[in-house]
Structure 1
Amino acid sequence: MEKNKMNVYIAELIKSERGTVLTSGTGYITKGNFLEEAYKIIGCRCVDCRSFEYNGTEYDVWFDDEFLLKNGPLYPTLFLGELKPNYFDVICGNFIIAKCNEEGETIGISTDEAKELSSFMQSSIDKLNKAAHMGLLSGVKSAC
């Protein structure tokens, strides 16, 4: 990886005639150019950020802040929290996971953290499916 790039975790929805598929994995963003590149990856004009903890590490998930202003279906892609009413947030659409340093600057993740986030994503997808089955996603105000 180039020195001016940072490692991030990216989840993107790929839409085609056959349907919509969620892909996720490691990507790279130019240091010092995070917001500009995040807008392109996420596909939006305005982003929001929510922190979460996984296995003792604090992460930031960046997502589209204007999802409700867009016409079209919502695609839940990330579940944060517990499978109980009012104890979770759902992120919709594309997102980026990174970290921040003590000064509040966005920084990348390590290769090991990317592997951890792959496990986290699988767990999140399982929770999304369970939440839908339990009826928790109907009419819920979410972070997406």
Structure 2
Amino acid sequence: MNVLVQDVSVLNDGKYFAVTKVCEIDAGNTLQAMYDLIGCDTVDYRSFTIEGHEYDAWFDDEFLFADKQIPSALLTEDEGWGSNVLICNNVFYARSDMEGGMVGLTDEDVERLKRWQSKSMSKAIKYARVVGMIG
């Protein structure tokens, strides 16, 4: 199944950088794939909506304890949240079926998420500065 992974880092000049790539994972072992692709031991997720399509953002549940918190996405009221939800570090995007099982992304999903992700990371960086998480 295809998923979208966003790897984030800080460059030497202090600028934030993200590489977004499509990865094929084994549908029978999605939890281990998430650990490996996100680079963590525990995960959490938030569902959100873009242009009427629902997606899941999976991320390190303990990102606040990491050496660095790199803002990667900001979920807002427009995406189905009553308040802002800041996600830091690497993120794994997929969809869910009606039974809650993970399903892969279509090419259209990938393009929609890439467009959204670029804007969302910019919003996340601004939000993290406002709340004093980063300088």
TM-score range, shorter chain: 0.7 to 0.9
* C-alpha displacement of 1:21: 2.6
1:93 matched to 2:71? The reply is no
Aligned-partner residue type, residue 52 of structure 1: F
Q: Is the contact made by 2:5 and 2:22 (CA closer than 8 Å) also made in structure 1?
A: yes
| Counterpart in the other structure of 1:22 | 18
| Counterpart in the other structure of 1:60 | 56
| Counterpart in the other structure of 2:71 | 76
Instruction: Measure, in 2, the Cα distance between the counterparts of 1:30 and 1:64.
Output: 20
State the percentage of identical aligned residues: 33
Aligned-partner residue type, residue 40 of structure 1: D
Instruction: Measure, in 2, the Cα distance between the counterparts of 1:49 and 1:128.
Output: 17
| Counterpart in the other structure of 1:43 | 39
1:121 matched to 2:82? The reply is no
Aligned-partner residue type, residue 76 of structure 1: P
* C-alpha displacement of 1:127: 1.8
Q: Which stretch of the first structure deviates more once superposed, 73-82 or 88-97?
A: 73-82
Distance 1:93 1:110, change over 3 A: same
Instruction: Measure, in 2, the Cα distance between the counterparts of 1:65 and 1:79.
Output: 15
- TM normalised by structure 1 equals 0.78
Instruction: Measure, in 2, the Cα distance between the counterparts of 1:54 and 1:26.
Output: 18
Distance 1:13 1:126, change over 3 A: closer
| Counterpart in the other structure of 2:102 | 106
The structure with the largest alpha-carbon Rg is 1
More helix by share: 2
Q: Secondary structure at the match of 2:122?
A: helix
Give 5+ residue unaligned stretches, structure 1.
1-5, 140-144
Give 5+ residue unaligned stretches, structure 2.
none
Q: Is the contact made by 2:9 and 2:70 (CA closer than 8 Å) also made in structure 1?
A: no
- TM normalised by structure 2 equals 0.83
Q: Is the contact made by 1:25 and 1:118 (CA closer than 8 Å) also made in structure 2?
A: no
